Structure 1
Amino acid sequence: MPITDQFKDNKSLALTKRLIPWTICVLLPMALIHSFFYPLPFSPSPKTDLPHSTNNNITYRSSLSASPPSSAEKGKTKETKCDYCNGEWVSDSGSPLYNDTTCGTIKEGRNCITHGRPESGYLHWRWKPTQCNLPRFEPQTFLQHIKNKHVAFVGDSMARNQLESLLCMLATASTPNLVYNHKTGKDNQFSRWHFPSHNASVSLYWSPFLVHGVEKSSTNPNNNLYLDHVDERWANDMDQMDLIVLSFGHWLLLPAVYHEGDSVLGCHYCPGLNHTEIGFYIVLRKALRTTLNSIIERRGDKGNGIDVIVTTFSPHHFEGEWDKAGACPKTKPYRNAEKQLEGMDAEMRKIEIEEVEYAKAKAKRRLRLEALDVTKLALLRPDGHPGPYMNPFPFVNGNAGSVQNDCVHWCLPGPIDTWNEILLEMMKKWEKQSRNED
């Protein structure tokens, strides 16, 4: 071999020796990084594809099969709870699920479309929670959840308003049959509808105080409430109920005398009577506690269990006194910065939330209880009430100055449909959990 060629080979060998360590130092970390972010696909052994075999009620799985998560792991993977009470009303070009012609259960005073309300902007808003999306109501899904069950709405006219909304939305998927109806005056006070398609019943129980009460009359200007006795007009049927939706509060603002045990506890606005004025906050708390305690005692650990929803206080929007030509003329929702939850509305909601949490702490294992917190989202909808259209075509005769307004209840369709959309989401969540986990 020529010397020049030998020199070249020696030079190449020396260069190669110098490059090998450098190459290893560079490529090895790169290989490790690549394997970390892009692992090679793993092909299981054919043995692991054998079907699971069982013997003596024990399931044998491949060693490569994922083991079931522990209770601690389950807790880590639970979905974040959505706070439906915080959010904003956003414009929605979609149409309501129903209208005045597709639903035959709307109380006359809430049928704003039929009564001639000229603008329909109040129909085109949807509630957008801050933490999540609120799906559009699915009537078939709701009916499937209440299949072979009895849902009872118990309370005042706000309970009836929410029930009417629910019936209207469900009727788009399945026609309900009115199987029982008891009226006092023009109002349905005790009614029941049956959905043959799902063997499901939805009932209304008029009970404006939830506890036993004697309503005012021409001879007695005050309501009389017995705060330590639940109203048996609905509680007697408790064994037949699977879901109870409670809604009350507005009737507590009226003059009343409050009884507890064999004595008078006090009163609210009862001039001329020798009773202590105690307002209505303490009464709200006592009435709700008596009600929830009664449900726990009677149904907390019996049968297939029971679910209870407490719909929180829904604010009114009278501008002026309700009985002195007070009205609610706004045609758009408030923005969050425009209206704060405060005063009576905030206190009523606070008491209801506290009492639900107090009852949950002592509830027995077969009772599930939650608050349907609608106070804030209701506060932001001054445009959703019937207003003067609680009456048909109120301005036809030009008597605008003397028209009575309803700024408490809600047009149907209207914002209160959202109450039931949230209710369905709560039911979906419950469906994923066993009662023992709650």
Structure 2
Amino acid sequence: MGATSPLKGQSQSHSLTKKFLPYALYALLSIALFRLYFHPFPLPQSTTEQLPHNNRIILTTSSSSPPISFSEEEEVDNETTCDYTNGRWVHDKMGPLYNGTTCGTIKDGQNCILHGRPDLGYLYWKWQPSQCKLPRFDPNTFFHLLSNKHLAFVGDSMARNQLESLLCMLATASNPNLVYRDGEDNKFRRWHFASHNITISVYWSPFLVRGVEKSKTGPDHNELFADSVDERWGADLDHIDLIVLSIGHWFLHPAVYYEGGSVLGCHYCPGLNYTEIGFYDVMRKAIKTALKTIIEKKGANGNRIDVFLTTFSPSHFDGEWDKAGACPKTKPYKEGEKMLEGMDADMRAIEVEEMGAAKANAKQFEGMRLEILDVTKLSLMRPDGHPGPYMYPFPFANGVRERVQNDCVHWCLPGTIDTWNQILLEVIRRWSFQSRREE
């Protein structure tokens, strides 16, 4: 009679649970949305990084149990050549793989988040090709496909920008070890991923061919030798398995050109008794010399090599470089809003034509794969992706200054340039699939 029901306490507890459960759910949802908006990236390191090396769960290279399985749909996508040039930028709720505070390889001038850029909308876009899918970058796929290989980025600061993007995405799965550095501003660096024995290097070579850069103590112009490659990277070709070339912007500077031991002409050289010939033909010669040297040197030794040429990356100066608002846009251009024309189109055309000629030349040798990494148009549509004044930390902390230097050429990291490496990986993955089909 006076006994207490064994379910009475549970009933009260159940009532309280029903009362407060909605509030708890709302609270958790708010926290999740806050985390997603301000920190939409994966945790800096996976749990495998906390394990001893021998105990890490890594991709195996066993042929009997492939570490990466492709669905039938993915295999079809990779079997068909996709034109990544045409497409549009669409909203991406997931955001980039990394942020500016957890990756230690970003050049200071491109670390827009750390420098206080207030609008983060530029992080939430992805490139959607018209003819195919472009999957999210998968570091483990990259590690598998380039296991035991040496990848080299060779060129100007755009090559370095692309390299640092790749390293940051890979660092979400495994830490790169810096094993070599040399030169002013670390223009020659090398990293090693011990888990898959992958080496990634960057070679500063803004002309690809041999050149002497202008200096404060020497001539106020560059000197280029169009018929011989820069030996700093040319001498290492025997040890490189995949090379990504990138040039363009440095050819706009004043220069004197040489070929065959004599002066060929110059670009913007008032006061010098040389013929003005512009820079387009010399840039073409430089690309031709670089590709020809790679093909013939590797082909003569019977060595395989994969070669990419990244096309010209347009700048977006809408105002003066030293005033606020030089590249003020915060959203991508829509299709048809900005046309590829003028110098941007001309530079790209030269690169596409020379890569086409090099492909034909490479057919005489086995084991050579060449591809243009055509990023000009998709980059042209991203005026919001540059550091602008945030190439320096908190440039408006003390109010808007009359003059402030802007970078409307390079790309914030993370940001637009991550897409270049997405495409790079997809082409490599398609090559791998085609090779397996031919076996």
**TM range, normalised to the smaller chain?**
0.7 to 0.9
Q: How many Å apart are 1:399 and its aligned residue?
A: 4.2
- Runs of 4 or more consecutive aligned structure 1 residues displaced over 4 Å after TM superposition: 323-326
What corresponds to 2:292 in structure 1? Answer: 293
Q: How many Å apart are 1:300 and its aligned residue?
A: 2.2
For 2:166 and 2:324, the matched residues in 1 are separated by 31
TM-score, normalised by the number of residues in structure 1: 0.80
What corresponds to 2:130 in structure 1? Answer: 130
Letter paired with 2:308: I
Q: 1:22-61 counterparts in 2 under 5 A? A: none
Structure having the higher Rg: 1
> Structure 1 residues 134, 399: CA separation in 2 closer, same or farther (over 3 Å shift)?
same
What corresponds to 2:421 in structure 1? Answer: 420
**Offset from partner CA, 1:95-118 (integer Å, 9 cap, x none):** 210001221111110000000000
> Structure 1 residues 301, 78: CA separation in 2 closer, same or farther (over 3 Å shift)?
farther
Q: Work out whether 1:410 is the aligned partner of 2:411.
A: yes
For 1:128 and 1:163, the matched residues in 2 are separated by 22
> Structure 1 residues 283, 93: CA separation in 2 closer, same or farther (over 3 Å shift)?
same
> Structure 1 residues 104, 78: CA separation in 2 closer, same or farther (over 3 Å shift)?
closer
> Structure 1 residues 119, 267: CA separation in 2 closer, same or farther (over 3 Å shift)?
same
Letter paired with 2:148: N
**Offset from partner CA, 1:83-138 (integer Å, 9 cap, x none):** 00100000111121000122111111000000000010000000000001100000
Q: How many Å apart are 1:435 and its aligned residue?
A: 11
What corresponds to 2:367 in structure 1? Answer: 366
What corresponds to 1:400 in structure 2? Answer: 401
Determine if contact 2:323/2:402 at 8 Å carries over to the other structure: no
Determine if contact 2:156/2:205 at 8 Å carries over to the other structure: yes
SS in 2 for 1:192: strand
Q: 1:212 aligns with which of 210, 213, 222?
A: 210
> Structure 1 residues 301, 141: CA separation in 2 closer, same or farther (over 3 Å shift)?
farther
> Structure 1 residues 77, 224: CA separation in 2 closer, same or farther (over 3 Å shift)?
closer
What corresponds to 2:232 in structure 1? Answer: 233
Q: Work out whether 1:156 is the aligned partner of 2:151.
A: no
Determine if contact 2:229/2:289 at 8 Å carries over to the other structure: yes
For 1:377 and 1:370, the matched residues in 2 are separated by 17
For 2:226 and 2:214, the matched residues in 1 are separated by 16
TM-score, normalised by the number of residues in structure 2: 0.80
What corresponds to 1:378 in structure 2? Answer: 379
> Structure 1 residues 275, 324: CA separation in 2 closer, same or farther (over 3 Å shift)?
farther
What corresponds to 1:116 in structure 2? Answer: 116
Q: How many Å apart are 1:434 and its aligned residue?
A: 3.7
SS in 2 for 1:300: helix
Letter paired with 2:249: H
For 1:326 and 1:349, the matched residues in 2 are separated by 27
What corresponds to 2:181 in structure 1? Answer: 181
For 2:222 and 2:286, the matched residues in 1 are separated by 14
For 1:362 and 1:236, the matched residues in 2 are separated by 21
Letter paired with 1:381: R
> Structure 1 residues 148, 303: CA separation in 2 closer, same or farther (over 3 Å shift)?
farther
Q: How many Å apart are 1:322 and its aligned residue?
A: 3.4
The answer for unaligned runs of 5 or more in structure 2 is 1-75
Determine if contact 1:312/1:374 at 8 Å carries over to the other structure: yes
Q: CA RMSD in A?
A: 1.8
Number of aligned residue pairs: 360
For 1:292 and 1:302, the matched residues in 2 are separated by 16
> Structure 1 residues 285, 323: CA separation in 2 closer, same or farther (over 3 Å shift)?
farther
What corresponds to 1:8 in structure 2? Answer: none
SS in 2 for 1:354: helix
Determine if contact 1:301/1:365 at 8 Å carries over to the other structure: no
For 1:213 and 1:77, the matched residues in 2 are separated by 42
> Structure 1 residues 241, 423: CA separation in 2 closer, same or farther (over 3 Å shift)?
same
What corresponds to 2:144 in structure 1? Answer: 144
For 2:214 and 2:145, the matched residues in 1 are separated by 39
Determine if contact 2:95/2:125 at 8 Å carries over to the other structure: no
For 1:81 and 1:426, the matched residues in 2 are separated by 9
Determine if contact 1:368/1:435 at 8 Å carries over to the other structure: no
Determine if contact 2:386/2:412 at 8 Å carries over to the other structure: yes
For 2:437 and 2:191, the matched residues in 1 are separated by 31
Letter paired with 2:282: V
